[in-house]
Amino acid sequence: MTKKVLVVDDDPDVRLFSTAVIEENGFNPIEAENGEEGMQLLKLEKPDLVILDVLMPRESGVRMFRQIKTNPKFAKIPVIILSGITKKSFLRSQKALTEFGGAEVPEPENYLEKPVEPEELAAAIKSALS
């Protein structure tokens, strides 16, 4: 069965780019515009991988990432963060949210800073799904 990859990003161009890379590499893409939609799709579709932006309206990738990694049902789904926010800033923000009373969460399986080359994204997807 073809593996499903959920792309969560508010930028339609990034979703187009990511879904094209996913399809070219033989996987099945699913799209969401924000973390709220992303969580709904995650529950419905049970994807094998999530590619997640950090700053989005309504519900950010920060929140969705924490929801994934703190729920035993979803915690094993690998997450690739694809964002204009640096990895250092993302990790610092996660640490702060833990210090502010949130649960401790692991680092994402991979972190790619925008802009990213198709080959780089493809390699990250294959690695996460292998």
Partner 1 sequence: MPVITISRQFGSGGRTLGQKLAGALGYTFADQDIVQKIAELAKVSPGWVESVEKEAGGRFQRIVSKMVSKPLVDRILKDERGYIDEQIYIDYLVVLIAQIAEEDNVVILGRGSQYILNDMPEAYHILLIDNFENRVRFIMEKYDKTEKEAANVVKVEDRRRFNLYKKIGKQDYDKPELYHLVINMARVSLDQAHDLIVKLIKQPSPVTSI
Q: Binding residues for partner 1, per CB under 8 A?
A: 36, 54-60, 62-63, 85-86, 88-90, 92-93, 95-97, 99-101
Give the nearest distance from C-beta 90 to partner 1 in angstroms: 7
CB of 16 to partner 1, least distance (A): 21
User: Could you please report the per-residue DSSP string of 5-71?
Assistant: EEEE-S-HHHHHHHHHHHHHTT-EEEEESSHHHHHHHHHHH--SEEEE-SS-SSS-HHHHHHHHHTS
For partner 1, give the closer residue by CB, 31 or 53: 53
The distance of closest approach from Cβ of residue 69 to partner 1 in the complex, given in angstroms and rounded to an integer, is 14
